[in-house]
Amino acid sequence: MKKVDFFMLLLCLIAASFLVSADPPTCPADLGGKCSDSDDWQGDFFPEIPKIKYEGPASKNPLAYRWYNAEEEILGKKMKDWFRFSVAFWHTFRGTGGDPFGAATKYWPWEDGTNSVSMAKRRMRANFEFLKKLGVDWWCFHDRDIAPDGTTLEESNKNLDEVIELAKELQKGSKIRPLWGTAQLFLHPRYMHGGATSSEVGVYAYAAAQVKKAMEVTHYLGGENYVFWGGREGYQTLLNTDMGRELDHLARFFEAAVAYKKKIGFKGTLLIEPKPQEPTKHQYDWDAATAANFLRKYGLIDEFKLNIECNHATLSGHTCHHELETARLNGLLGNIDANTGDAQTGWDTDQFLTDVGEATMVMMSVIKNGGIAPGGFNFDAKLRRESTDVEDLFIAHISGMDTMARGLRNAVKILEEGSLNELVRKRYSTWDSELGKQIEEGKADFEYLEKKAKEFGEPKVSSAKQELAEMIFQSAM
Amino acid sequence: MKKVDFFMLLLCLIAASFLVSADPPTCPADLGGKCSDSDDWQGDFFPEIPKIKYEGPASKNPLAYRWYNAEEEILGKKMKDWFRFSVAFWHTFRGTGGDPFGAATKYWPWEDGTNSVSMAKRRMRANFEFLKKLGVDWWCFHDRDIAPDGTTLEESNKNLDEVIELAKELQKGSKIRPLWGTAQLFLHPRYMHGGATSSEVGVYAYAAAQVKKAMEVTHYLGGENYVFWGGREGYQTLLNTDMGRELDHLARFFEAAVAYKKKIGFKGTLLIEPKPQEPTKHQYDWDAATAANFLRKYGLIDEFKLNIECNHATLSGHTCHHELETARLNGLLGNIDANTGDAQTGWDTDQFLTDVGEATMVMMSVIKNGGIAPGGFNFDAKLRRESTDVEDLFIAHISGMDTMARGLRNAVKILEEGSLNELVRKRYSTWDSELGKQIEEGKADFEYLEKKAKEFGEPKVSSAKQELAEMIFQSAM
Amino acid sequence: MKKVDFFMLLLCLIAASFLVSADPPTCPADLGGKCSDSDDWQGDFFPEIPKIKYEGPASKNPLAYRWYNAEEEILGKKMKDWFRFSVAFWHTFRGTGGDPFGAATKYWPWEDGTNSVSMAKRRMRANFEFLKKLGVDWWCFHDRDIAPDGTTLEESNKNLDEVIELAKELQKGSKIRPLWGTAQLFLHPRYMHGGATSSEVGVYAYAAAQVKKAMEVTHYLGGENYVFWGGREGYQTLLNTDMGRELDHLARFFEAAVAYKKKIGFKGTLLIEPKPQEPTKHQYDWDAATAANFLRKYGLIDEFKLNIECNHATLSGHTCHHELETARLNGLLGNIDANTGDAQTGWDTDQFLTDVGEATMVMMSVIKNGGIAPGGFNFDAKLRRESTDVEDLFIAHISGMDTMARGLRNAVKILEEGSLNELVRKRYSTWDSELGKQIEEGKADFEYLEKKAKEFGEPKVSSAKQELAEMIFQSAM
Amino acid sequence: MKKVDFFMLLLCLIAASFLVSADPPTCPADLGGKCSDSDDWQGDFFPEIPKIKYEGPASKNPLAYRWYNAEEEILGKKMKDWFRFSVAFWHTFRGTGGDPFGAATKYWPWEDGTNSVSMAKRRMRANFEFLKKLGVDWWCFHDRDIAPDGTTLEESNKNLDEVIELAKELQKGSKIRPLWGTAQLFLHPRYMHGGATSSEVGVYAYAAAQVKKAMEVTHYLGGENYVFWGGREGYQTLLNTDMGRELDHLARFFEAAVAYKKKIGFKGTLLIEPKPQEPTKHQYDWDAATAANFLRKYGLIDEFKLNIECNHATLSGHTCHHELETARLNGLLGNIDANTGDAQTGWDTDQFLTDVGEATMVMMSVIKNGGIAPGGFNFDAKLRRESTDVEDLFIAHISGMDTMARGLRNAVKILEEGSLNELVRKRYSTWDSELGKQIEEGKADFEYLEKKAKEFGEPKVSSAKQELAEMIFQSAM
């Protein structure tokens, strides 16, 4: 039996365990799309979706922006430059709607039922049309979601090159560029024990080869960042794990990545994306502080920044605002994966953020950071499994962009109104004293401080005014 | 294009999104198994695994029982009759190792890469060999994991019938029977909004047809129970959900199931399996008390019992012990899904229980309940994704059975030693008074109680002795 | 040594473990209040706080309403009648700011440092002034927070009577009434094992006497409801607990309460307030469904309704919206404890709700319920420990009331705009068919449904449109 | 009115809000203790408790060790030297049983109801008798739990000195020493915004003075470590917080502590005790990695180690084992607070650890670390609120010590049996190759690795054998 046939059997075996027999799915009714199985695709992918325009808050049109007005200037910068929104190829074009208990639910009209290179190229064309209709200039990808795995590394690379060439061509004459690229080191069974932290040295080498290539193509397309999300870089139980050795391997891997980045002249930022757990029980890049500690321990602190994802933040027990501020204060705020989770669900739901309050706090951090470029806001967010219309893809992105835009507008309103900042300034005003200065300059030892404490007697302690702060904040919503 | 071809394309499209090209997987090295792709399977499925025997606690053999001794009598009942262990077909024979971020990792040597009826039959033979080698008399199944979906309901039923006939034949001359059967109403995309609670009336009808058939075949095979797990009977957001209407539909569905059970003369117990969430954000059978409320509200309390799963218990914020006792006190303890979760992971990990303390508490409830028959202990538990040797299937079951056996032995030890029961008895001893009796009989009204309270003055309140109770409990481990 | 002296020593012993020596606390600076330790209080309690008025959304005044306009009619009802806001005496007048790691932080100027009856009366006067300045007609209380415990039940009752007389007098000529009263059965060490579910029969009697009295005084003051919150009605570990016996005792207790209510002619609603845990590990009234099951099991379902607290809802793993709808669908929605928790903190933080989105969902349920009277919205919410100015008490309540008012306005907007309801109606439209009707009327058995399923073939399943629903919802904020 | 009188009033005011009138509590029945209110205490504190001895696993005596045998040598070290058990003064002698919803429940016979210096001294004598009866050589304390706060810093220091002198005297002729001391910077209202991170500069100075003194007395008593637990060093909401400035202040504070330690010649280890939250919503020393990042960022990594508390570990989403290993791998494992939490309760329950499996994992880390000295195992654990007998204090400690002793015995058994280590070694065996070595030495760049990956082809990936590892582990219990 030939290798390739065997693979087809295996593929279907596994498909079978996820899938079930079904009538051909109906195409999304509202759009009247025609399901095609031919190899070349004629005409538009989204024929019934107009170019999405700004219509203002009074609009009732779900296919229009109400708050996001790309060219509008806010605090001296265009809205589009504040956000640098990016579409995540994997969720939007490869999301199947499958979950641990359910098979795929999405049957987009342009899909032909294969994982061929030609299908990959068709999908890439859909991506560019999608970006243009949304008015978004950035996209993000994993190597393996844009081009199919081959049976060898060489074949996989060849497949990737072919799709990359098309992307390069499609980019021409537009401002569209990858916000970042990354290598998918978690889906294939070879990575079940990790990539850089696999118990198998051959997998480490394979992962290195895959990252090398992904970096090259990101660079080639003019990508501005490169991301590491170590979904499998962690452990399930310490009983069978040598955590010390695995962490050392991870450091070696990052060192090699830094060296290679420099070698090929890639100027983009390297980003680590923290997540506490899932799929592994414990991921080594648990949260911003954990990732920072790792980078400091191994002398890599100046070579990386962080990609903070809001849903990952909340899974780690922090607010998104906290993780952004932690990254910022460690000089590591590089990019934002703009999504949200369900506060009562213990796994990553990757929802489009629609909470204006949370968006406002995110933007307060971004303003403090002076913006986020060369990073941006990547929509690492997906349709709910039960959302199966093509227009849902647009609605979700529009809703997410409008929410962030409201967040920016509110953050500016709060900033300009001034009373929240004033509340904070006043709260710390005793530190603007001589003694405060001495302490902050490291000139106050314990003996001096004891002397001062005795002089002062019982210190006065003011109200923290949390309810007032919340009232001011909410009133700006 | 023909329907069937189209389906193959679709199937592969979806496979492709979960899967990736790979060399043929190596067969499990330790067992020297030979991967086969032919349709008929020669010889044993587990040639290198012996019949698992009891060797006692001193044994170092991972393929032997150290605590589970099937024929040994404990409190007047054989161990095998206390437990009535059951293998879950779906996890053991259809578990792929896939997770939300990863493709399948299991490539058992007997799989040929198809989802054909002949493959389904081969798999059923493997199941029976597995049961016999383990020395287990019960198995559980969903309709769709034992036989492939067809393109129509009729075809699916036909496929099922063919496999069921084989199972019937394999059962002959043995004591092997289904502990329970159930219908898989969650994997297929048609069930994405639920089965009995779908927003589409046609899906409700389809689900009814599927349950009808699953009940029939369970009955035909001599199954002793029938389970409803409503993984999709719930909602993702109340914004788009008519919860009241959905709950009413669920009640109608259960009423029809009860009527049909009686019509066909099926004497087995109908069981609801509570779970708080996942895949839906909120499942209607959240926990034992929620399911009991539903059953009472709709007048179904005498027609159903509960199948308590330990991992579901902990996900709902309770201990497994609590859920078992809640079921027992409501007269609803029907079956146990013996597994465990990870206390720090917010999703169902379905691990084999290896915590002897938890097993002991479970068995304390079961002893109080006078046993669990006609229910049993179903191993709704799966290998970790990274456990890929055939022998791991055996090791996991042996470990789970031994843990439960230790639990039984410890529970008996605690019972016979007596000091824990004595501690509880003593704690409530003031209730064994005249006043206690009057209250318990509903004869003490507030005026009488106030009079008593004034007579008593400040009541004496004794120590709860929790640390002593824990010491007694732990010493028995 | 006399009993009373001994008590004083004990009291101070315990005080000492919570407290520490300190200079006299400074009075709230902003208000220029003068700390008094004399027994009679002259003049206003809140001299610098004006009567809080509605000034509209443009106002920058933290001591004004921006959205709550008591007399404004919405959907045919005045805002004040939609809400029936209530101040929780315990949080607002007895909250100390203490937490498990910290001593009290609140030193209100009207407190004299005693727990005397005269201090209790002064505090009650402050309560009425507070209600009037806020423009709120309702208040809630525990027996022991409005009047000091005595050394005997008789003395405690006498203390209570004295304060109640004052409250009665203060109510005269106003519309102010208790929204509900309740008995504090959790703070005193006698209740450490529970009240109705104590392991000591004498404590059960004592609790009954206390509830009897609390019901009487609630009735006397014209209270409209009576609440049971069973903070200690639960367990810490099943190892030392007879859960079945305790639940039976709880049922006997509620039966006696119902009988006594009828005997004294109290027409108010009896309410159970579910909470999952804290202070006990497991509370018997875990959530709405659990409480409903208990009521049904013991035949009490027609005698009680539920008081849903949002923070308790989220602690139990549900949204507040879910708990409200569960209560409503079980015919049990009686009252709302309007507060919120911190989604990332595993204990009850009892914060004033400031999330307008959540408030909107709450009001969508209330509108569906046709209002909440004779229940209302009780602010079971407290200042943060670090909020120590008298004005913070006002700011917090204003912020909470305004948030609820925005919720009502938004809910009405969504209702009147109509597209969300239309989305839901459309989603379930297949149920408005002949078959849907047959099923809902219980006329469709499995055989008929199977026949239908076969006729239909594969059912069409539409998108759930969750993102669109969220967009519509958010746009109304 | 005099300051001191005012304070008494305040003290009682607050007492009153926590407390309630009660008959004098009965003394613990089992021990027949006589409650005393006189100032001098005659005879033994624990007259009916014998010196706790090792009686072996067969003993039924709750007042004996069954597994902890202090002088027994294990792996070349006496059990007492492996553990260096310590009693936490605050829980054992100042724990009141109070909780957020309940007043104190503990009335030990030696307490006289005052917070006087003489009472503090009597309590210290009780501590030493307790240590001797248990056979424990170490104790831990906060400054304010061993001696009462005065009205000024000077008076507080004087009180402390007086008690310290007594402790010094009681230590004489024994091996008893403080395992560590610490300053209580969380209970007093002055610390409501933090100590080192307070928004008030005067509080920072006060905290410094308090730490200075606490270090001095720890040094004076021969303490071997000094701990910082920053319960209030964190924030409630970022809206009113300048996190960057607060973190800088914390660093200045630690720098000053290091300088002062050196100045006074204190050779003990400085330890930071991480905790994620409670009482603040977010504590700056969230977990081991967060604390390590802080120490590295501010150049303090060589001056501190960590005190890992198991209950804090689990609250942060990690296992205790994970936190110990994280500390160890960062060279920071200094001390262990041996306790446990409730996996289903979102706050610190500080229970005595009775889970032998967890104790075994803890000891596996400690053995890897070559022991924990000069740190030890401090029982930062308390009786349940409802445990009110004096003997419960002993039972709880005995149970905790026996559990740890079983953990040590099991860990050694696993180590000596060898198959778990062998499983891990084998799992990583491909790293013991030439390529593995090159990578670990940093000599394998991406180009070389890609070349290797191409040579290798698809890497073989072995089973992780988690179930086997768990079976081996559990069999040793």
pLDDT in tens, D425-441: 999 999 999 999 999 99
Instruction: Give the pLDDT confidence score for residue D43 in this predicted structure.
Output: 65
Instruction: Give the pLDDT confidence score for residue B33 in this predicted structure.
Output: 40
Per CB-CB distance under 8 Å, the chain A contacts of D212 are 446-447, 449-450
Per CB-CB distance under 8 Å, the chain A contacts of C396 are 467
Q: Are A189 and B102 in contact (CB under 8 A)?
A: yes
Chain B from 192 to 211: CB within 8 A of any D CB: none
- Interface contact B25-A386, CB threshold 8 A: no
CA distance B329 to chain A (A): 29
CA distance C349 to chain D (A): 10
Closest CA to D337 of D352, D355, D357: D352
Radius of gyration (C-alpha) of chain A in whole angstroms: 25
Query: Which of C206, C240, C264 to mutate: most B Cβ within 10 Å?
Result: C240
- Distance CA(B274)–CA(D251), nearest Å, equals 50
Per-residue confidence band for D5, with pLDDT thresholds at 50, 70 and 90: very low
Q: What angle do CA A316, B279, C457 make, to 5 degrees?
A: 155
Q: Are B368 and B359 in contact (CB under 8 A)?
A: no
Task: Name the residue among A239, A276, A439 with its Cβ closest to that of D201.
Answer: A439
- The answer on pLDDT for B474 being more than 60 is yes
- The answer on pLDDT for A381 being more than 70 is yes
Average pLDDT of every residue of chain B: 92
Fill in the DSSP letter of residue B232.
T
Per-residue confidence band for C26, with pLDDT thresholds at 50, 70 and 90: very low
Task: Name the residue among D384, D458, D463 with its Cβ closest to that of B392.
Answer: D463
| A310 sits in which H/E element | helix A310-315
- Distance CA(D119)–CA(A429), nearest Å, equals 41
Count B/C contacts: CB-CB distance under 8 Å. 283
- Distance CA(D282)–CA(D284), nearest Å, equals 6
Select which of A91, A142, A193, A312 is catalytic: A142
Task: Name the residue among B29, B402, B467 with its Cβ closest to that of D392.
Answer: B467
Select which of B142, B193, B219, B318 is catalytic: B142
Residue in D with minimal Cα distance to C343? D281
Report the 10 Å Cβ neighbour count for A42. 7
Query: Which of D332, D450, D452, D467 to mutate: most A Cβ within 10 Å?
Result: D450
D6 at interface of A, judged by CB pairs closer than 8 A: no
Q: Which residue has the higher pLDDT, A34 or B289?
A: B289
State the first-to-last Cα distance of chain C, in angstroms, to the nearest integer.
65
Catalogue the active-site residues of D. Answer: 142
Report the 10 Å Cβ neighbour count for B411. 24
Q: Are D202 and A460 in contact (CB under 8 A)?
A: yes
Neighbours of chain B (3+ CB pairs under 8 A): A, C, D
Per CB-CB distance under 8 Å, the chain B contacts of A277 are 344-345
Q: The tokens of B246 are what?
A: 């959905």
- The answer on pLDDT for B88 being more than 70 is yes
Per-residue confidence band for A13, with pLDDT thresholds at 50, 70 and 90: very low
Q: The tokens of D274 are what?
A: 């991480």
Instruction: Give the pLDDT confidence score for residue A40 in this predicted structure.
Output: 62
Per CB-CB distance under 8 Å, the chain B contacts of C461 are 189-190, 192-193, 198, 200, 203
- Distance CA(A86)–CA(A252), nearest Å, equals 30
Per CB-CB distance under 8 Å, the chain B contacts of D383 are 467
Q: pLDDT by residue (tens digit) across C197-237?
A: 999 999 999 999 999 999 999 999 999 999 999 999 999 99
Please state whether the peptide bond connecting residue D279 to the residue before it is cis, i.e. omega within 30 degrees of 0: yes
Per CB-CB distance under 8 Å, the chain C contacts of D94 are 17
- Interface contact C344-D103, CB threshold 8 A: no
How many helices and strands (H and E) does chain C possess? 17, 14
D325 at interface of A, judged by CB pairs closer than 8 A: yes
Residue in D with minimal Cα distance to C150? D21
Burial class (CB in 10 A: 0-12, 13-18, 19+), B154: exposed
Per-residue confidence band for B291, with pLDDT thresholds at 50, 70 and 90: very high
In this structure, the dihedral spanned by the alpha carbons of residues D294, D297, D303 and D309, taken in order and rounded to 10 degrees, is: 20
- Distance CA(A464)–CA(A428), nearest Å, equals 10
Q: The tokens of B137 are what?
A: 């008399």
Instruction: Give the pLDDT confidence score for residue D468 in this predicted structure.
Output: 98
Q: The tokens of B72 are what?
A: 């040994």
CA B402 to chain centre: 18
- Distance CA(D439)–CA(A205), nearest Å, equals 9
- Interface contact B477-D22, CB threshold 8 A: no
Q: Are D45 and D110 in contact (CB under 8 A)?
A: yes
- Distance CA(D200)–CA(A432), nearest Å, equals 10
**pLDDT average, residue stretch B48-68:** 97
Residues 6+ apart with CB under 8 A from C441: none
**pLDDT average, residue stretch D295-307:** 98
- Distance CA(D111)–CA(D119), nearest Å, equals 7
| C263 sits in which H/E element | helix C243-264
Task: Name the residue among B296, B316, B461 with its Cβ closest to that of C192.
Answer: B461
Q: pLDDT by residue (tens digit) across B110-157?
A: 999 999 999 999 999 999 999 999 999 999 999 999 999 999 999 999
Per CB-CB distance under 8 Å, the chain C contacts of A454 are none
Residues 6+ apart with CB under 8 A from A258: A270, A300, A303
For chain A, give the percent of residues with pLDDT over 70: 91
Closest CA to B160 of B111, B117, B219, B224: B117
Establish whether this prediction's ipTM goes over 0.85.
yes
Q: What pTM, to 2 d.p., does this model score?
A: 0.94
* DSSP reduced 3-state for D399: helix
Instruction: Give the pLDDT confidence score for residue C165 in this predicted structure.
Output: 98
Residues 6+ apart with CB under 8 A from A274: A283, A285, A286, A287, A288, A290, A291, A306, A308, A309, A312, A316, A323
Query: Which of B463, B468, B472, B477 to mutate: most D Cβ within 10 Å?
Result: B463
A4 at interface of D, judged by CB pairs closer than 8 A: no
Closest CA to D18 of B458, C277, C108, C145: C145
Per-residue confidence band for B7, with pLDDT thresholds at 50, 70 and 90: very low
D321 at interface of A, judged by CB pairs closer than 8 A: yes
- The answer on pLDDT for A455 being more than 50 is yes
| D17 sits in which H/E element | helix D3-18
- Interface contact A22-C458, CB threshold 8 A: yes
Residue in D with minimal Cα distance to B462? D388
C392 at interface of A, judged by CB pairs closer than 8 A: yes
Closest CA to A407 of A340, A454, A330, A464: A340
Query: Which of B467, B468, B470, B474 to mutate: most D Cβ within 10 Å?
Result: B467
Query: Which of A5, A8, A13, A281 to mutate: most B Cβ within 10 Å?
Result: A13
Instruction: Give the pLDDT confidence score for residue B372 in this predicted structure.
Output: 97
- Distance CA(B45)–CA(A428), nearest Å, equals 73
- Interface contact B329-C424, CB threshold 8 A: no
Residue in A with minimal Cα distance to D213? A450
C60 at interface of B, judged by CB pairs closer than 8 A: no
Instruction: Give the pLDDT confidence score for residue C378 in this predicted structure.
Output: 98
Per-residue confidence band for D31, with pLDDT thresholds at 50, 70 and 90: very low
B177 at interface of D, judged by CB pairs closer than 8 A: no
Neighbours of chain A (3+ CB pairs under 8 A): B, C, D
Per-residue confidence band for A226, with pLDDT thresholds at 50, 70 and 90: very high
Per-residue confidence band for B42, with pLDDT thresholds at 50, 70 and 90: low
Chain D from 108 to 127: CB within 8 A of any C CB: 111-115
User: How far apart, in Å, are the Cα atoms of C117 and each of A408, C121, C195, D23, D455?
Assistant: 54, 6, 25, 19, 88
Per-residue confidence band for D89, with pLDDT thresholds at 50, 70 and 90: very high
